[in-house]
Each structure stands twice: as C-alpha cells, then as structure tokens.
Amino acid sequence: MSSSEERKLILKSSDNEEFVVKESSAVQCLTIKNLVEDRCVSDPIPLANVDSKILALVIEFMEKHAETTLSNSEKKEFDVEFVKKPFDDLLELILAANYLDFRELMDVLCNTCAKQMENWSVEEVREKFNIQNDYTVEEEKAARAENPWAFE
Amino acid sequence: MKETENLELCFEKMMVENIGTKSGGETSRGVIKSEWKDIPVELLLRILSLVDDQTVIVAAGVCHGWRDAISWGLTHLSLSWCKKKMNDLVLSLVPKLPKLQVLILRQDTPQLQDDAVETIASYCHDLQELDLSKSFRLTDRSLYALARGCPNLIKLNISGCSAFSDAALAYLSGFCRKLKILNLCGCVKAASDRALRAIGYNCHQLQSLNLGWCDRVGDEGVKSLAYDCPDLRALDLCGCVLITDESVIALANHCLHLRSLGLYYCQSITDRAMYSLAQNRVKSKHEVWESVKKGYEEEGLTNLNISQCTALTPPAVQLLCDSFPALHTCPGRHSLIISGCLSLTSVHCACSVQAHRAASSFSLAH
C-alpha cells in the first residue's frame, strides 16, 4: 500500500492538457479532496472550467504551499510575486480557485484585489478592470455625486 | 461508487455558471475570456468585504452589474468617516441598499436630518443594528419612521440625540420589540419613567441599556425594567441622580444575569443596595448550579461603578466584593470602581489582599 505522498493525480484542463500532481498537494482544493474521499477519482480528472494556462498557475501555487520545508514567510514572499499578474489573469485565477474550492489561493487573490482597489476612483476601477461604463448620463451624474472624497 | 462516465456530470453540477459566454472575447487559445464586470456576485462581495466603506461606494458606481451585486448583497455599511454632507450621501445611497442589516452613522458634528432616517426606514426593513449617535438635529419624526420601517432592530444607539421625546421613544418600543441593546446616553428628554415602562412592557429581550446622564430616570422606571426584562445584563445609570436603593434591590431580585451596573453619582445609594446584591448572589447560586449543568457560565457581577456614592461604608462594599469574585480592585483588572469614595479605600478584592500579604511577608523577612 503506497503512502499518500507518492500517490499522484492527473488533472486535465478544459483545453485537454494533462498535468500530473501529487495527491497531497491537490487535496488543498476541496473539490478534488471530496472526489478523492468519495473515491470518484478517474484518471485524468477533467476540470472543464479551467484552461491550461490558469491550471498551470494554480498548480504552481498549490505545490509551493504544500511544501512542508518552506517557512510561512517564504510562502508569503512567493505569494507577493505570484500575484503580480494582469488583472485579467487574477480574475481567471479567482474563478478557478472558486471552482476548485481552494481557500488559500482565494484568500491571497481577494486580499490582493482588495488592497489594490482602495483609493481608486470609479474611472480607475473601470480602466484597470477593463469595465465598460454602461451608465446613462443621469446614472453617471448620480454616481459622481456619491464620490466618497466629496464627503471626507 | 460513481461510474467514470458520470464523472463529467459530477463536474457539470459543480460548475460555476459559464460567465464567459455572455460577452467575453476569444483569446488566442480559443478560450472565452471572463470579464470583471460579470464576476459572480458572491465573489465580488467577498472582495468588497475586505475593503473600506468608501471603496464599496466607489464599486457601486462602476457599472450596472456591480451596482446590482452590491444592492443584492451588501449588509454592513459605515458612513462615520463622512465629515460633511452625510445626509446627502444617505439620501442618495440608501435606496440602493435594501439588504442592509448594520448601518453606522455615528457623527462628530451632527449632520443627519429626519429625511435621511425616513429614507432608511423606507428601504431597509432588514435593519438590525443602527447607530445614530450624536444626531441631535433629529426630531421625533425619525423615531416614528423607524418604528414603522425597521421592526427587526436589535441594536439601536441614539445617544446624544437630545431632541427625542419620551412619547416617541415609547412608540418606537411598541414596534421594535426585538431590541436587545439600547443606548440612550444623554437622551434626557426621551428617557423618562414613562418611556422605560413602555420599553419594559414591549422589549422583553433587552440585555443592555445605557441611561447615562438621563437625570429624569427614577425608581419607577428602573423597577419596570427589572420586572419585565429578566435577561438584563448591563445597565448604566451613571448620573441618574434620582435613583435610590429601591432600584438596585429590584434589579438584584429580578435580573439574575446582571453583569455590569453603573451607579456613578447615584448619591442616594446606601449599604442596603449592596447587601441586596450580595444576598441575591447566594440565592442565585442555586440557579447557577443548574445553569452550569447546562454549560452556561454565570459569574455574577463583573463590573460595578459606585464612584461618588458617598453614603456607602466599607463593610457593605467589602461583602459585595467578596460575593462576586469577578469584581476586582487590583490595578490589572480594575472592575469595581470607587473613585471619590475616600472612606472605601480599605476595600480590596481577594487578589490584592494576596499580593499585599506576599509583599508584607517579604518585607518582614528582612
């Protein structure tokens, strides 16, 4: 009977790329953990909502955080570098972390976005997140009237 | 044990709704891109739970999707950072936030007017906690509006709202019957015995009441509370100069969960009050045994402020201190406050006595 450290899983992205990961790392994703515990595991595990680029990044994070030899501050240093990505990628990672129920990754990503957003104006949010303004002229005027800086 | 063929179905059920199909463009890999404007509501709210209130307001102004998500999901908001024109912001923002449960509008300078509170009462029927402290420009209109619109209030702070009358407060209590925490500090006009009788009659779940500096409060009012609100845990009567021993005796007899009592400046309080509290401690210990069996901890009084209660004498206060082990005079955990009572300097909690003994035996040895 092999120890769980040696057990490997194959994860398949939505664009059919396959990734081999240690089961012990992969179970940080509760979605995968539940499959393993319920013995629903097929080879490979299809992840229809995550493409290969994002899955590779998730696996990078997953394996780093599963390493018992790393200290917490080393993991934090990794996180700081990891989140230096375009906002589009961060969104894809958030959606993947949600789908996989990967709490640690979700927390790091949400904290990053939250910290960045503070002190932005409405225009900056739209620009950095690439959001089209779909407000009418009146709605836009009303939103401007709620600009917090006018009340501080 | 699920079949491999059904695994795809497993994942289909677990899939987050494919948001890319609505409007995303295709990337070079042929995958549909997700867009920030379409981020699932719960994920947007999760990020916004980590930012300050100003940023939440900015987010609500970004696009329809985000505004709707915030409307649907925002439950907590504080506007206390507004130094000016808070009233305008409330009028504009609150109609979009019908799911608010907690709204903090504490001000340094009074900015709120009745129309803002009326707006809150029209839209936020789920409101459980509201802080309007220092809004002394509010009139009874606000209380009547809250009564009609916010029946689910559990925690209400109207300290410093000196223009409210007792009739309006009594009226409010008839509708907001779930109130557990009520702060009326400085509401001199509103906190009369009449209002307290109504509060006692209507709000049986009341746990904490602050009547600081409400100098019209008398024994009749406090006794009504004691009889009708058995769950009372904290009562602040600081500056309620009309209170006599009758009030404290009623509280001792009826409010067995009382943990915190403020009697600062209640100069009519005598040793009788202290003895009644101590006596009822013994009586309630039988109740304590039962509740300990149920796993509920009952320490009795943990905080008592009897500063300026100059009629009290050391034996009575010492007995009280001995009866309630959570009352401390030692510097680290000072919870029995007796400033201004020069005759009570000899009163000490058990730990100060031990420390004192340790210190004096040390000095004896030398």
For residue range A41-92, what is the model confidence (pLDDT) as tens digits? 777 889 989 999 999 999 999 999 999 899 999 999 999 999 999 999 999 9
Which of B19, B86, B89 is the closest to A146 by Cβ? B89
In this prediction, the residues of chain B whose per-residue pLDDT falls under 50 are 1-2, 16-28, 293-297
d(CA B365, CA B94): 71
| ipTM value | 0.92
Min distance B17 CA to chain A CA atoms (Å)? 9
Tens digits of per-residue pLDDT, B313-351? 999 999 998 899 888 888 877 788 888 887 888 888 877
Residue labelled with tokens 């739970």? B49
Q: Cβ of A117 and B59 within 8 Å?
A: yes
- Cross-strand partners of A34: none
Nearest to A86 by CA among A59, A109, A64, A52: A109
Which of B18, B62, B84 is the closest to A131 by Cβ? B62
**What's the pLDDT score for residue B295?**
39
B178: which 2 tokens? Answer: 């779930």
| Minimum Cα–Cα distance from A48: chain B residue | B11
C-alpha dist (Å) from residue A125 to B36, B63, B67, B82, B302: 10, 10, 13, 22, 49
Q: Cβ of A15 and B82 within 8 Å?
A: no
Structure-derived torsion over alpha carbons of residues B94, B100, B102, B107, reported in degrees to the nearest 10: 0
Min distance A136 CA to chain B CA atoms (Å)? 10
- Helices B114-123 and B86-93: crossing angle, nearest 10°? 20
Tens digits of per-residue pLDDT, A1-42? 445 457 889 999 999 999 999 999 999 999 999 988 887 777
**What's the pLDDT score for residue B212?**
96
Nearest to B229 by CA among B203, B196, B249: B203
Min distance B101 CA to chain A CA atoms (Å)? 21
Q: Cβ of A131 and B37 within 8 Å?
A: yes
| Minimum Cα–Cα distance from B8: chain A residue | A46
Q: Cβ of A99 and B15 within 8 Å?
A: yes
d(CA B115, CA A93): 45
Instruction: Calculate mean pLDDT across residues A91-109.
Output: 96
Nearest to B11 by CA among A50, A23, A93: A50
Q: Cβ of A131 and B47 within 8 Å?
A: no
Number of C-beta neighbours around residue A72 at 10 A = 7
**Is the CB of A118 inside 8 Å of chain B's CB atoms?**
yes
d(CA B206, CA B234): 9
**What's the pLDDT score for residue B284?**
64
Nearest to B107 by CA among B159, B64, B166, B169: B159
- pTM for this predicted structure: 0.85
**What residues of A are in contact with residue B34 (Cβ under 8 Å)?**
88, 91-92, 95
- Cross-strand partners of B303: B260
Q: Cβ of B10 and A135 within 8 Å?
A: no
Secondary structure of chain A as H, E, C letters: CCCCCCCEEEEECCCCCEEEEEHHHHCCCHHHHHHHHCCCCCCCEECCCCCHHHHHHHHHHHHHHHCCCCCHHHHHHHHHHHCCCCHHHHHHHHHHHHHHCCHHHHHHHHHHHHHHHCCCCHHHHHHHCCCCCCCCHHHHHHHHHCCHHHCC
